[in-house]
Amino acid sequence: MSLDPGYLEYPMRRQGMDHDLYPWSNIAERPPLALPGGATMAVAPLVSLEWFPIVPGEAPFRAPGHMQTAYPDFRHYTAREYGTRVGFYRLLDAFAKVGAKATIAVNAVIAERYPSIIADILAAGHEIVAHATDMDATIDSTVPEDKERAMIVAARDTLAAAIGAAPKGWMSLARQQSWNTPRLLVEEGFDYCLDWVNDDLPYVQSTKAGPLVAVPYNHELSDRQVIVVQQHSAESYVEQMKDAFNWLAGEGAPRVLPLHLTPYVMGLPFRMGAFEGLLEWLSAQPGTVFATAGELAASLPAEGA
């Protein structure tokens, strides 16, 4: 089958960047982050708190981790629900043991179905960022702008009602955006997003509606990628996170180690011992703080990236 020539037509294709969101910059030449307490390393735990409809609805694509077999797919549905019912609380306990504050990316329907979870997140002092409405709310450039905006607003307002203030951070499902997403996020009151994974430090994007801070959480360092996709053990995951920490710390300027976690992956009982050991090791490293996405966004120098 031949490829439609229109597929290759993209008005921003040119020398340099293929968009106007930000200029290229050398990480070694940027002003350093102002991390809390003058720290030189930030460890940034991020938990994806997801709700999967047992029968997927219409969406431009199926989100990672969605139902797979003939419906009702109780095997995968209940495995994901295990993360919400059990695994997530193990992660909360692990964070509490080392005094770590995490960023929790929450499907808005969680606030409606499980309000006690939201209360427990807030009571522990963690940060909540919006993570669409549910795991059917994927977006790409086939989604009409008004429909995407409505989903963003619904997620924002549902969480605002539950936590008492509109969330300022956003993470798209599968980190997939449309051409409109950065602008829409700014227009609807968001200050930073967690979708772009092209850096080790936060940086500023410029949209037609105003600035938006990109806070990267490297996909290759996520538990889903290391443990589920690459089929490594929890012990191998821990070794890789330590290797990443040591390399980043060796670069000298303040750096960020993201820990993107999935409750139904890392929260299983045979993995938690290794994970708690990793948190203990990280907390003992000199010049290291645990930081939320909001704290990282705020750590940018005034002139940005």
Distance between CA atoms of residues 122 and 88, nearest Å: 14
pLDDT at 189 (0 to 100):
98
Tens of pLDDT, residues 247-270: 999 998 899 999 999 999 999 999
Distances, alpha carbon 59 to alpha carbons 105, 129, 136, 185, 215, in Å:
20, 22, 6, 20, 26
pLDDT at 15 (0 to 100):
67
Residue ranges in the chain modelled with pLDDT below 70: 1, 7, 12, 14-16, 303-305
pLDDT at 35 (0 to 100):
95
Tens of pLDDT, residues 200-249: 999 999 999 999 999 999 999 999 999 999 999 999 999 999 999 999 99
pLDDT at 304 (0 to 100):
42
Q: Are the beta carbons of 56 and 67 closer than 8 angstroms? A: yes
- The alpha carbon torsion through 267, 273, 279, 283 (nearest 10 deg) reads 150
Q: Which two tokens stand for residue 178?
A: 């449309």
Distance between CA atoms of residues 206 and 158, nearest Å: 27
